[in-house]
Structure formats: C-alpha cells, structure tokens
C-alpha cells in the first residue's frame, strides 16, 4: 500500500517545471532539429525531378518526410484521444497524469504546421500517384470533350435557325390579320420553342467552366469503381482536419489550465460535457486523415480496417510515450507525491490492452485480405514480403505484439516505473517500424511507375533518418517549452484527491 496524500500536502499552485535544468538538452534538440529539418526541406524542394526524369533525392525525401510526420502525428493525436476519453468517462485515476496527456496533444498544431509541404504539388505528385494520373487523364480527354461540346453547340445553332424561321412566318400571318384562333395558338407555341432553343444554345456554348465540368466527369468515368474522395478537395480536407483537431486540443487545454487558477467544477464539467461530443469528430477526422495520407499511397488499394488499425497504434504508443514522460519527470524530482506505482499499474494495463487490440486488428485485416484474395488488396502484403521487408513483417508481429504481450503479463513489470518505461521505449521503436513498413515500401514502385523493384537504398535510409531527427527533435524542443509556466498536474481539479490515492 502506498503512502496517502491530500491536496494539503501539495504546493498550492502545483509543481512548476524548471526549464533551466534542461537548458543544454533544449539547445541540443533545437540545434539537431533545426539543422535536420532545414536539410530535409531543402532537399525536398531543391533536388526534385521535373518531367520524366529519374527520381532524385528530393523525390525519395518525400516519403522520408511523410514517415516522420505521420509517426509523430499518431503520438500527438493519441495524447488527445486519452485526454478526451478521460474527460468523457469521468475517469478519476488519471487526473495526475492528464496534464502530460494534454502536453503531448498540444503538439498537434505544430505537427499540422509541419504538414504544409504536403500542399505543394511536387511533393504530392511523388507521394500520391493518383494526382498526376488524374491530371493526365484530364489532359488526354480534353480534345474529345471539347469536340463534343462544339458539335452540340452547332446542332443547337441549326435548330434555332429553323425554329426562328417558323416563328417569323407565323408572326407575319398573325400581324396581317389573316390568322385564325388555331394559328395564333400555333404561333405562341413556336415562339416559346424559339425562346427555349435560344436558352439551349447559350447553355451549350463551350465555355471554360463547361469544359472543366465535362472533363471532370470523363476522368472520373475512366477511374470507375475507385473512391472519388481521393480526387477532390484533398487540400480543403487537410485544412478541415487541422481546424477540428486544433480546436479540440485548444479548448480542453485552455479549460484545464484555467481550472488551475479558478478551481471549482464549472470548467471540469464543461470539459466532460464537450468531450462526449469530441469523440465523434476525433474518430471521423483521424480515420479520413490516415486514409488520405497513407491508404492513398496506393490509390488502388483499400481496407475497411485501416482507420482503426492506425488508431490502435496511436492509442497504444501515445500511452507508452506518456509512461516515459511521467517517469522522466519523476526521475528529476517532479510528481513524487502525486504519481504512485498504482498509476503505473493502470497505465501498464492500458498499454497491455491496446497491445492486444492492435494485434487483433492487424490480424483481422490480414486475414480478410488473404481470404478474399483480390489482386488490388493483396498487393499491399505482397509488396511487404519482398526483399528484406519479409523479415520486417515477421519482426513486426513478434516485436509489436508477442514480446510486449508476454512482458506486460507480469504485474511487477507494470508497477515498476523503469521496467514499464523500457517496455514503452520498445513499443515506440516497434511503432516506428510499423509506420516505416506502411510508408517506405511504396517509395520505389511509385517513383518509378512500377518499373523498379528496388525497395532499399542507402541514400534513402539516410534521408529517412535525417527527416525523423528533424521532426522528432523539433517537436521534443517544443514539448519542453510547453512544460513551462503551468503546473505539471491539474492542481485544482475537483477529483485530485481521488487520483492521488487511487488503489488498483
């Protein structure tokens, strides 16, 4: 049984992080992150091919950068998931570690800032081959569509001339007073026909807008049975994802920090109320984002399990990161009176649960694709069983599931901060391999239009490492900055005593 504490035993304003103690570390992270990130972006935009040239370093670096950004995005969005879930379920035990969940989630705006290069076509064309393919199809069909529009236009011009002549003849008969009642009615009908024909000829004129609309339909027809979402509004969708996730992070963190100053239940209840609604946009937004960024790497491939597969990895490994962060803070003298082995045990059980959940989803996805045996679907796994990726696939199963599964069965491991943190580090390494295994095998086949089976390149691996260090060190620097100025735990949360004295 651990020693019991109450709010009276804690500093009134909570514990503040002394950033001066990590000054050299921050300087190192800033230097490495700045140099590597700058180098990656320079390579990305400077050393790229044009036209039908062979792939250059910048083209290979597009995949390196995507791998790095998505890896850290999953960790940040996982922090948001745990924050929302703790509020929505009114969880009491996690109050003392919730601020670190918020700090991890607070990296989301910065990760979206790092996604800005994905707005540029030279990066997008390397990663998502359906975009240049779509433009090529449009260009190929443009003469055909334009000719068809001109033919329609000439047809209606001829029709208008005929109807106008008939209407004019009828008008002369009526004006001479020689027309009967029936002829007057006929004149009115022909006049309306002429007016209708005038509107038709105007509508059939091949304007820029009409040509673009016809081309859109023609290209989509040529890409029949492929999901239309890939081809339209990808940039606006990315902006929408950013707005939704940043709004959720900003509100929950703002209410949490304000509660440290005000106390009471007002903002605590507001966070709980809104978190119940945040679960829906979180799930939908995350699912569509990983579809747009990762499933679309091969636009012919699809999996109904894709969103939940990436979510399982994000939840699992953000919990691993949370355990590591809390342990590092405790090792440096923080959170000693609020975080106990009981909290580690609970976090360890969640780590174990999502380890099993990830394995279950991964197996079901593989099993369904194997059983269906559809060429468009099996390509994903066939590609990842070529060359050394076969060993990586096997190691991913063993390392991402079996090893942590066996270790986390032991209760003493889950209650020991250092041991459970070592498991957390291992899980993060396996998650990096998982994202690498998803992104990088598509690099050579996509950049060479399937003409090169080469899946491994020494230069490309160096680019992968530089991009990973650039994004990772930059975000680590920002994370240390976010620790400043606010308590390391929600010091005036109404359920703080319950969390401090949790017994599992």
Query: For helices 266-293 and 234-262, what crossing angle results, to 10°?
Result: 160
- Global pTM reads 0.82
Task: Give the torsion sign (CA, 368, 372, 376, 378).
Answer: positive
pLDDT at 225: 38
pLDDT at 59: 82
Quickly state the pLDDT bin for 8 (edges 50, 70, 90). low
CA dihedral 5, 6, 7, 10 (to 10 degrees): -20
d(CA 360, CA 372): 18
CA 128 to chain centre: 14
Contact (Cβ atoms closer than 8 angstroms) between residue 80 and residue 249: yes
Rg (alpha carbons) of the chain, rounded to whole number: 31
- Residue 473, pLDDT > 90, answer yes
pLDDT in tens, 21-38: 899 999 999 999 999 999
The backbone torsions φ and ψ at residue 503, rounded to the nearest 5 degrees and listed phi first, read: -125, 125
Quickly state the pLDDT bin for 229 (edges 50, 70, 90). very low
Indicate the range of 111-125, 147-161, 266-280, 333-347 predicted with least confidence: 147-161
Kindly state the average pLDDT of the residues 163-177: 65
- Which residues 6+ apart lie within 8 Å of 102 measured at CB? 79, 83, 249, 252, 253, 256
pLDDT at 374: 86
d(CA 58, CA 47): 5
Could you tell me which residue, 419 or 156, shows the higher pLDDT?
Answer: 419
pLDDT at 137: 52
Kindly state the average pLDDT of the residues 180-185: 66
- Residue 240, pLDDT > 70, answer yes
Q: Tell which residue, 472, 479, 477, has the closest CA to residue 429.
A: 472
The region, left, alpha or beta by phi > 0 then psi within -120 to 50, assigned to residue 53 is beta
Quickly state the pLDDT bin for 228 (edges 50, 70, 90). very low
CA 476 → CA 22, 479, 500, distances in Å? Answer: 12, 5, 28
pLDDT at 399: 97
Q: Tell which residue, 417, 282, 403, 418, has the closest CA to residue 352.
A: 403
pLDDT at 443: 84
- Which residues 6+ apart lie within 8 Å of 38 measured at CB? 470
pLDDT in tens, 194-204: 666 666 655 55
- Residue 298, pLDDT > 50, answer yes
Number of H helices, E strands in the chain: 20, 0
pLDDT in tens, 81-102: 999 999 999 999 999 999 999 9
Quickly state the pLDDT bin for 222 (edges 50, 70, 90). very low
Question: What is the pLDDT of the chain when averaged over all its residues?
Answer: 84
Q: Find residue 16's DSSP bridge partners.
A: 487
Q: Tell which residue, 237, 244, 252, has the closest CA to residue 106.
A: 252
pLDDT at 316: 98
pLDDT at 183: 63
- Which residues 6+ apart lie within 8 Å of 381 measured at CB? 366, 369, 370, 393
d(CA 323, CA 319): 6
pLDDT in tens, 395-445: 999 999 999 999 999 999 999 999 999 999 999 999 999 999 999 988 877
Secondary structure of residue 16 in the 3-state scheme: strand
């Amino acid at each position: 049984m651990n020693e019991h504490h109450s709010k009276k035993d804690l500093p009134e304003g909570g514990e503040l992080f002394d950033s001066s103690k990590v000054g050299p570390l921050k300087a190192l992270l800033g230097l490495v992150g700045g140099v590597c990130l700058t180098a990656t972006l320079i390579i990305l935009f400077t050393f790229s091919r044009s036209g039908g040239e062979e792939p250059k370093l910048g083209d290979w670096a597009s995949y390196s950068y995507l791998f790095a950004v998505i890896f850290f995005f999953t960790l940040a969005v996982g922090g948001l998931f745990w924050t929302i879930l703790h509020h929505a379920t009114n969880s009491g035990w996690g109050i003392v570690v919730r601020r670190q969940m918020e700090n991890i989630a607070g990296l989301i705006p910065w990760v979206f800032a790092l996604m800005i290069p994905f707005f540029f076509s030279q990066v997008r064309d390397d990663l998502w081959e359906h975009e240049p393919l779509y433009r090529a199809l449009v260009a190929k069909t443009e003469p055909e569509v334009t000719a068809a529009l001109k033919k329609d236009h000439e047809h209606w011009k001829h029709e208008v001339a005929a109807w106008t002549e008939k209407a004019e003849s009828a008008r002369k008969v009526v004006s001479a007073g020689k027309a009967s009642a029936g002829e007057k009615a006929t004149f009115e009908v022909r006049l309306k026909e002429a007016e209708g024909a005038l509107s038709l000829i105007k509508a059939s004129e091949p304007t820029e807008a009409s040509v673009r609309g016809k081309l859109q339909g023609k290209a989509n027809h040529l890409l029949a049975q492929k999901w239309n979402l890939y081809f339209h509004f990808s940039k606006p969708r990315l902006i929408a994802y950013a707005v939704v996730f940043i709004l959720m992070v900003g509100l929950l963190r703002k209410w949490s920090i304000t509660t440290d100053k005000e106390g009471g239940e007002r903002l605590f209840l507001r966070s709980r109320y809104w978190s119940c609604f945040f679960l829906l946009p979180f799930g939908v937004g995350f699912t569509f984002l990983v579809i747009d960024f990762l499933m679309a790497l091969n636009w012919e491939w699809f999996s109904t399990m894709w969103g939940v597969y990436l979510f399982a990895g994000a939840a699992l490994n953000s919990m691993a990161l949370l355990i590591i962060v809390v342990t590092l803070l405790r090792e440096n003298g923080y959170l000693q009176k609020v975080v106990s082995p009981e909290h580690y045990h609970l976090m360890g059980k969640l780590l174990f649960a999502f380890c099993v959940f990830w394995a279950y989803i991964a197996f079901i996805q593989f099993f369904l694709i194997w059983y269906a045996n559809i060429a468009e679907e099996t390509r994903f796994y066939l590609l990842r069983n070529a060359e050394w990726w076969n060993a990586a696939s096997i190691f991913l199963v063993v390392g991402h599931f079996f090893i942590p599964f066996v270790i986390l069965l032991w209760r003493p491991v889950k209650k020991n901060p250092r041991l459970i943190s070592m498991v957390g580090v291992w899980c993060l390494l396996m998650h990096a391999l998982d994202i690498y295994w998803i992104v990088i095998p598509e690099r050579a086949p996509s950049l060479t239009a399937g003409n090169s089976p080469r899946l491994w390149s020494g230069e490309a691996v160096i680019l992968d490492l530089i991009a990973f260090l650039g994004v990772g060190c930059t975000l680590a620097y920002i994370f240390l900055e976010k620790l400043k100025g606010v308590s390391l735990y929600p010091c005036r949360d109404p359920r703080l005593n319950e969390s401090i004295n949790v017994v599992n």
